[in-house]
Amino acid sequence: MRRRTFTALLAAAPTLAMAAPSVRIRPGDDPAHWAPLTPHKWAFGHGQVVMTERGEAPEGPRRPYEYAIVRQGPDFGRLRCTAEVRIDEPVTRDDRDVVLIFGYRSPTRFYYAHLSQDNTIYPHNGLFVVVDADRVRIDDQWDGTTGAPPAIDDTDWHHVLLDHDPATGRIAVHLDGSPEPLLTATDTRLPGGRAGFGSFDNHGRIRELTLTGRPA
C-alpha cells in the first residue's frame, strides 16, 4: 500500500486555498483607530466616539456630510457590525439621523444605513449606496412614499446590528434586539470595505462598536 507524506499531499493539490480566518475589531474610543473627515468635529473618550457638531455638505455627489472611518484592521468582505448609537439633536428636528457606513472604498464609493425619526421622504431612514454619483436608495421597505418604521425617535441609546454579505449583496439592519430586520436590501455594486459612523447633516455618538468578519 503506497503511503503519501503530508508534503506530497500538498504538492498534489496546489490550488487548494484556505478560507481567510474571521477577524474581530473593537476600535473603542482610541482616536488612533478612527479617521474623521473633520477631526475638530469629533471627541473621543469615556468609551464613546462623539460627533460634536454638524458637518458641511461636501463637494461632488450628494452623500453624508460628516463621518469617521475605522482605520484599525482590514478592509472587510462579509461583515457583522454591532454597536450602540444615539442621536444628540433635539427631537423637535424631524430630520434627525445618524448613519452606519460599510463597504467603504473611498469618499464617493460606500454603503450606509440612515437611521432617522422620519420615514416619509426619499433620503431618510433607509439603506443607500454611493458610487461616484448622488446616493441611491436600495432598501426593500421604501415604497415610493414611506419607508420602514422610524428607527430612532428619541435621545436614548439604541443597539444596532448590521449584516453585509458582498458575495450575495444581502444587507440587513436589526434594531434593539429585534429578530426581524428593520431594513433589508440586495446590492452587489461594491465588494466590501471599511466601516464607520457619522450623520448626514446632524450629530450623534457611538459606543461598543464591534466589527466581525473576513478580510476582503
The answer as to whether 201 is a domain residue is yes
Mean pLDDT per block of 10 residues along the chain (216 residues) reads 35 41 96 98 98 97 98 97 97 94 98 97 98 98 98 98 98 98 98 97 97 96
pLDDT of residue 12: 37
Which pLDDT score is estimated for 9?
29
Domain count, the chain: 1
Q: Is residue 20 part of a domain?
A: no
**Quick one: which of 70, 64, 101 has its CA closest to 203?**
64
- Residue 67 contacts residue 198 (beta carbons within 8 Å): yes
Predicted pLDDT at 26:
98
Cell (9 digits) for 155: 435621545
Residue 17's pLDDT is: 38
- Residue 6 domain flag: no
| Cβ-Cβ contacts under 8 Å for 94 (sequence gap 6 or more) | 117, 118
Q: Is 145 helix (H, G, I), strand (E, B) or coil?
A: coil
Range of the domain at 52: 25-215
Inside any domain, residue 166: yes
Residue 146 located in a structural domain: yes
**pLDDT score at 21:** 82
Contact 87, 155 (CB under 8 A): yes
Tell me whether residue 2 is in a domain: no
Q: What is the pLDDT of residue 19?
A: 56
Please indicate, yes or no, if residue 200 is contained in any of the structural domains.
yes
| CATH number of 32's domain | 2.60.120.200
H helices present in the chain, as ranges: 6-12
As given in the structure block, the three cell numbers for residue 149 are 418604521
pLDDT given at position 8: 38
Residue 7 belongs to a domain? no
